[in-house]
Chain A
Amino acid sequence: MSEIEIARLAADGDEIAFAEIVRRFSPRVFSYSARFFRRQTLVEEAAQDVFLKAFTQLGNFEGRGSLEGWLTRITVTTCINILRSSKPQAEMTLSDLTDDESNWLEDRLMCVALVNHQTQEDKLIAADLIGRVLDGLAPEYAFLIQMLDGEGASVKEVSRSTGWTEAKIKTKAFRVRRKLRDSLLRLMNAKDGRLRRG
C-alpha cells in the first residue's frame, strides 16, 4: 500500500493504518528526537507528541513529498517547541565544570593535534561536555550545528529535514559556530583567570 493511501486511511480513523505509520517511521522519529534530548524518557515523550500531532494533521498530508519527510519536519518542529517552552538553561560557565573537565578542556585546547586521536574516555567526556554547552543554546541552533558539524549533513539535507531555507540555515550555522567557539574560549579564559588569582 502506498504512503498516500495509508495516510488517507489513517486520517479517516483507521487504527491499523496509523499503527503501520508508527511502525514504519518510529526509527526515524526516535532518531531525530534523540538529537534534541539526551534522556530516553524525553525522547519517548517527544516521539509520542509527534505521532499525536501527525494523527491530527494527517488530513493535510497531500503526498507531494514523502511521508517520512513530512514526519521529520513535524518531529523537528515539535522538539524545538518542547525545548522552547521548557525552562531555558543558562549558558555554561566555568563553575559548571568539574576540575577534571576543566583540565581536559585545557589539555585539548593546548594540543589540538590530539583531538582526532581520542580515547574512548575522551569521547565520552567530549560528548557530555558539548551536550551541556549546547543546552545553553536555543534548540534550533543546537540541532542545526549537531546536524551540520556533528553528523556532516549538507545544508540541503538539513533544509529537507526542517523546511528551513538554505540561506536561513547558512546564517544560523555561521552564528552558532561563533557562539560555540566563544563559549569554549570563555570557559578557558575564565580558567586562566582563576589560575592567575589562585
Chain B
Amino acid sequence: MNRVPLILILLTIGISLTGLELFPFSKFPMYSSFPAEATYYYLSDENNKPIALKPDLNLYSDDIKKSIEARYYSLQESDPNTERSMLLERAARAYLLEILRSKRSYLKKIGKTSIKLWSQKYEYDQETDRLDLDSKVIAQWETSV
C-alpha cells in the first residue's frame, strides 16, 4: 500500500474487465477496434434538408448514435432472432419518438412538422482504395405541432 497500491490496481482492472459496467468501473471500449465501416446519424426535415442539431435541437450527434445503438443492443438481447436491419429500424423509431417528445418545444420554434432520421454508412475497401457511401432514411415521424 505504501508505494504502489498493487491490490487497488488489480481490483480496479479486474472489476472493470468483467464488463458489468458498475459505475465508475468500465471497460472503456471507446475506439477499441477499427472496422472497415463507419456509421453516423442525422436529422432532416420533410424536404431532406439537414437540421442543425446543436443550435436547433440542443442535441449532439454522438448522443443520437449512442442512443440508437444502445436501444439496438437492448432489443437484440431480448429478440436475438430478428434481423439486424429490422431491429435497427425499431431502435431508430423508438429514439425518434423520444426526440419528438423531449424536443417538442425546439421543433415548434423552428417550425418543423415532420422529421426524418438518416443513417450514413461509409465503407472503405483497403485493396481497391475505394470509399463507398450508403445513405438512407431509417425512421420518419410526423409531429403534432
Determine if chain A interacts with chain B: no
- List A residues at the B interface (Cβ < 8 Å): none
- List B residues at the A interface (Cβ < 8 Å): none
